[in-house]
Structure 1
């Protein structure tokens, strides 16, 4: 499977960490966020990386070059920041089969391999890693409604009254059908082409989307404090918890905005 990584963001909310670099190159535990993403995808036997880049793309290209850990890299340039569905379309010409999609500002220690297996074994059109959040926080996310079989029947972006506390994370597998859906999406109220809208079109057309509940943790690195939390979690995986306050923080599953 090829792996598409969306890494075109400016990281405005991460300032001052992004004053001189794109969001994807902000370091967590001494490595860029994007490198953490690529390492996770290498463990899933990605056969090629398609990196969607934009803001200060030259820095990313200079850092990673033509391959990473023996896996070739292709760069797709998103010239305008017009939403995640638009970013996915930027990679369309490089994809001709099922593929993995990772948001390049997320760091995972979770059961990503189960998502890939579900795509293969169930012949699904898509499979998503989802996580449970407190009900009172669900309205901050893309909420997934599922049926008894664990298939996603509806995705609602930041609903006022959530029907579920299952929310999308930043890891998905898709068939190429997602590109057709992204082409059909209309701009949202904020003028962007939203990925949840494309997903809903897939569902309405009868496509099968499987939900895989996350076992582990994820941090969406949106603010400097998220970077700090991610570093604590990564250190904890190596047994480098410094004190009880760190240990308490590391035991909590972070709930971040998508």
Structure 2
């Protein structure tokens, strides 16, 4: 599979860490956020990165050039920050088969391979990793509503009153059907074209969507304290590996 990495954001909430760099180049445990994404995706046998850049895009392009660890990189440009569905449409001409999508401000130590395997086994149109978060944090994310059988029936982006605390984590696999859904998305109350709305359109049209519970952890690095938390968890993981070795 190809892997799309969304890294066009400015990261205003991460200041002062982003005063002189784009969000994706903020370092966590000595590596830029994008490098953490690349490393996770390489473990999934990705054969090409498609990186969506925007704010201070040249900082990213100059750092990685046209490949990372032997995997080629293609860049697309999101000229205006109009949401994740809008960003995803910039890669449409480069994708002709199933692909992975990762948000470039997330650090994972989790079962991403389960998402890829489930979509391939079920021939689903989308699969994504979900986790339960504290209720007070749920409104930061795309929240998944479920029926009595635990099946996802609706996805709502950053609701003021979340119906559940089950949220999307920022790692997905899709078929090209997602692009048609993104073209149909209308701006949200925030004025953005939301990926959660595109996924909800797939659900309402009867497409097969798989949601996999996360085993492990992830940190959405939106604020400086999130960077510190991710760094702490990575260092704990490295220490545990050293002890095991």
Q: Same fold (TM over 0.5)?
A: yes
8 Å contact from structure 1 (residues 143, 165) kept in 2: yes
| Matched residues, number | 240
Q: Which residue number corresponds to residue 236 of structure 1? A: 236
Quote the Cα distance in structure 2 between the aligned partners of 1:109 and 1:210.
Answer: 20
Q: Contact conserved, 1:151 with 1:209, CA < 8 A, in 2?
A: no
Shift of residue 186, structure 1, vs aligned partner: 0.8
Deviations 1:164-220 (A, max 9, x none): 221010100111000000001111122111111111111111111101000111011
SS of residue paired to 1:50 = strand
Partners of 1:25 and 1:124 lie apart in 2 by 33
Alpha-carbon shift at residue 34 of structure 1 (Å): 0.3
How much is the aligned-residue C-alpha RMSD, in angstroms? Answer: 1.4
Length-normalised TM-score, structure 2? 0.94
Instruction: State the SS of the aligned residue for 1:239.
Output: helix
Instruction: Tell me how far 1:139 sits from its aligned partner.
Output: 3.3
**Matching residue of 1:8:** 8
Matches within 5 A, 1:125-140: 125-140=125-140
Structure 1: distance between partners of 2:36 and 2:149: 32
Answer whether contact 1:143 1:158 (CA < 8 A) is retained: yes
Provide TM-score, normalisation by structure 1: 0.89
- Runs of 4+ in structure 1 off by over 6 angstroms are none
Can you list the C-alpha shifts for 1:42-97, whole angstroms capped at 9, x where unaligned? 00111100000011111101100111111110001111111110000011110001
Unaligned runs of 5+ in 2: 241-245
Is the contact made by 1:150 and 1:210 (CA closer than 8 Å) also made in structure 2? no
Distance change in 2, residues 1:64/1:194 (3 Å)? same
How far apart in 1 are the matches of 2:74 and 2:149? 37
Distance (whole Å) between structure 1 residues aligned to residue 70 and residue 149 of structure 2: 38
Shift of residue 163, structure 1, vs aligned partner: 3.1
Alignment of 1:202 with 2:202, yes or no, is: yes
The answer for the alignment partner of 1:174 in structure 2 is 174
